[in-house]
Structure 1
């Protein structure tokens, strides 16, 4: 995390002081590397430190801070857009140094996880850390699970090759498909391009920025719903409920825009009737809320808790890489898709939401309250993956 924080600091400094497009691009690349470090390490760190019954709530704290950052960025963009002289964008970009500094300093004071301590041969320190974070001296059983997992991890010399073995393909499939689907919910279309989107469908410049601030606020508060529900109702419930709500909202928003503008689209100059404006914002907010308590936080939580220790880092790296790759793809093609598809863009993403919700219903096992080192039993008891893993055991001669 320290390396990611430092990289993030350098990137924010370059962006704020940029005098050329090349400097802006280089700064953005460094910011992306810093984000990659954080996305790789933080969810795994939280999952390893948290007790099973609170793992979901504590891990979603990661997503909560992301929503705080998104909301803060929307407010900053709204405020700096009013700065006269055309230099407000420098303030906006340079303020990325604030979270970067928090990450850098925080990484220096955070303790190691018990898993990491055991893996590096510090058994007594791992026991003491378990006692501290569990609040009890009765940690023998969990410690023995960690030792067993560490011994198995030491037998793996090439985790990137091991992760492709048949016995790990259920986890690998989830680690690839969850972030893939997460980006195809269409959330980045809303959160990254909300001002462009709202202006295109008929809002003015300032109104579109304010609408972006509103969606950021909804995103923030809806994440608290996920924190309250994830360890009570489970991951599958939130995935399915959120998927159904997002699907309905996208279909309604697409239909409202179709009725108002048809295939011509809006220019932002002719305005939009107050009733339509209210309905569009309301359903987009309902969509954002559904994402914020389902696919947003769970897209990071579930992959971070399903891999055994020996391939956990490799598995999380794959999750982050897939997420970032499709974030990039969506960012590159969104404006072209919006120009050509108009309201059909919402139907496009609605189709993907329907597909991913069906995938969760059929293939994602429930991981609520399962100790992270015992997650293999969840896969073995699943109707589909259980047979898959049994075949893998037979192939290995087990």
Structure 2
């Protein structure tokens, strides 16, 4: 038995099935990921378009065109240019903190609606931008929209889905992100051919996913958890029966009510996050999004066209390479949807970590051999560029079926109701903060670290894989309200969880516990 691992099917099994109603609801809800994905994909393509650069960042444009022998690593290095991309994520960080209160008091749907409206406003301002200030204001509004959507959508999906299918349905959010990235890359490829104003179409196109999530939030039903949390119990049990597709939902309903009653006794969920019994949850809420950003994926997704131009591709070729990696991203996410509830979270985390580590080392070697430290290479053989793109695609596929979807799924399913909104805000805030940091400093890091930048990210992939191996238990097939048993049975976290916090305290804990050889226990029921 691996460190921190155990096999569990949960303390109990609630009756229920995957109904068409739930499937359609989760598909519509997961569309909230489109706005995040579209923005990730659109930013890098727009910042590589000559017309956009000449209008707003002339110094970067001149650096590209004046001297073809310039250091390839540094040709896009501009703090103002990276601020265009990164400002969004700082705004998303701030919005996610406000979104916690909205999500808790008024429901998940209202947070989604706010996200769509704010994102749409930002898209309009960006499309009409006349100066850098307008661009930044638009990006900030986009960030507010993403902060609300990323805070509410994963929670909505985890609460709506039957626990046996929670992983697959929740990953619909990540699938929407990858589809948004792919659509943005394809549009960038074609809009780049429209000189002078093609970039406006790319930025303004963000209105479409914003309208989709806005309309979706109006037609989606509330989750039973959210209805109970707001005192609407009769409506909640009716909704739970429809969601589960069976009438026998009293046991699950009573557990949800009990969890809600416990959550209402918590007057300060933010302060309570610091209590000893929430140490495992707080650790994961911080470390998983921290490590997710230090995989280096946003280096690829934000700046894919910029990166490909840096390693020798022409304008059209760099945008097409971004389309290819976006397609790989979508297809590999489907692998995760298939396997997450079959193979488990830990397996995908660890396999993806190994694959990403190998690919980052390979890319570093390929770029290092050709460009060296000086970076003064003007021509890259086509076959060599294809090899680099191939390794990047294998790397993207690993992220897309591991750290991409699981970075949102696992935090959203492990938090008890009483701290759920606050803890999810921590998760989103940490994610957005380090997304901001990476987006802001990447081009400067590339300029100074050269090919060593990929070794930098490879080191963190190794560290985070060890972290998952040791400290993340398997949560596959465990009902959300039974999740405390998972932590109690873990070799390290068990000491932080008091027995009285366990559901059905005595029986479930003793049922089938065995030593795992690491000073902890594993559950075999």
When the two structures are superposed, what TM-score results if normalisation uses the length of structure 2?
0.73
| Structure-to-structure mapping, 1:256-335, within 5 angstroms | 256-265=366-375, 267=377, 270-335=378-443
**What is the DSSP-based 3-state SS (H/G/I as helix, E as strand, rest coil) of the residue aligned with 2:292?**
helix
| Structure-to-structure mapping, 1:1-398, within 5 angstroms | 1-84=112-195, 86-265=196-375, 267=377, 270-390=378-498
On the 8 A contact 2:298/2:435 being kept in 1, the answer is yes
Distance in 2 separating the partners of 1:266 and 1:142: 64
How many residues end up aligned between the 2 structures? Answer: 390
On the 8 A contact 1:236/1:366 being kept in 2, the answer is yes
**What is the DSSP-based 3-state SS (H/G/I as helix, E as strand, rest coil) of the residue aligned with 2:274?**
coil
Aligned to 2:25: none
Distance in 1 separating the partners of 2:441 and 2:142: 21
Deviation (angstroms), 1:271: 2.1
Deviation (angstroms), 1:342: 1.3
Distance in 1 separating the partners of 2:450 and 2:312: 12
**Alignment deviations for residues 144-163 of structure 1 (CA, whole Å, 9 cap, x no partner):** 11011011011011111111
Deviation (angstroms), 1:175: 0.4
Aligned to 2:58: none
User: What is the RMSD of the two structures over their aligned residues, measured on CA atoms?
Assistant: 1.3
Distance in 1 separating the partners of 2:187 and 2:259: 45
The alpha-carbon distance between structure 1 residues 231 and 219, as it changes in their structure 2 partners (threshold 3 A), is: same
Distance in 1 separating the partners of 2:117 and 2:367: 44
**What is the DSSP-based 3-state SS (H/G/I as helix, E as strand, rest coil) of the residue aligned with 2:118?**
helix
**Alignment deviations for residues 343-364 of structure 1 (CA, whole Å, 9 cap, x no partner):** 1111000000000000000000
**Alignment deviations for residues 159-215 of structure 1 (CA, whole Å, 9 cap, x no partner):** 111111111011000000000000000000011111111121222222111111110
When the two structures are superposed, what TM-score results if normalisation uses the length of structure 1?
0.96
Distance in 2 separating the partners of 1:119 and 1:204: 55
**What is the DSSP-based 3-state SS (H/G/I as helix, E as strand, rest coil) of the residue aligned with 2:497?**
helix
Distance in 2 separating the partners of 1:4 and 1:199: 33
Q: Report which of the two has the higher share of helix.
A: 1
Aligned to 1:396: none
**What is the DSSP-based 3-state SS (H/G/I as helix, E as strand, rest coil) of the residue aligned with 1:375?**
helix
Distance in 2 separating the partners of 1:392 and 1:214: 52
Distance in 2 separating the partners of 1:266 and 1:61: 43
On the 8 A contact 2:293/2:435 being kept in 1, the answer is yes
Deviation (angstroms), 1:4: 1.2
**What is the DSSP-based 3-state SS (H/G/I as helix, E as strand, rest coil) of the residue aligned with 2:368?**
helix
The alpha-carbon distance between structure 1 residues 387 and 220, as it changes in their structure 2 partners (threshold 3 A), is: same
Which stretches of structure 1, 4 residues or more, deviate above 4 A after TM superposition? 390-393
On the 8 A contact 1:2/1:104 being kept in 2, the answer is yes
RCO greater where, 1 or 2, for CA within 8 Å and sep 6 or more? 2
**Alignment deviations for residues 244-271 of structure 1 (CA, whole Å, 9 cap, x no partner):** 000000011111111122112255xx32
Bigger shift: 4-13 or 351-360? 4-13
What are structure 2's unaligned runs of at least 5 residues?
Answer: 1-111, 502-525
On the 8 A contact 2:311/2:385 being kept in 1, the answer is no
**What is the DSSP-based 3-state SS (H/G/I as helix, E as strand, rest coil) of the residue aligned with 2:380?**
coil
Distance in 1 separating the partners of 2:352 and 2:287: 17
On the 8 A contact 2:286/2:426 being kept in 1, the answer is yes
Distance in 1 separating the partners of 2:465 and 2:400: 15
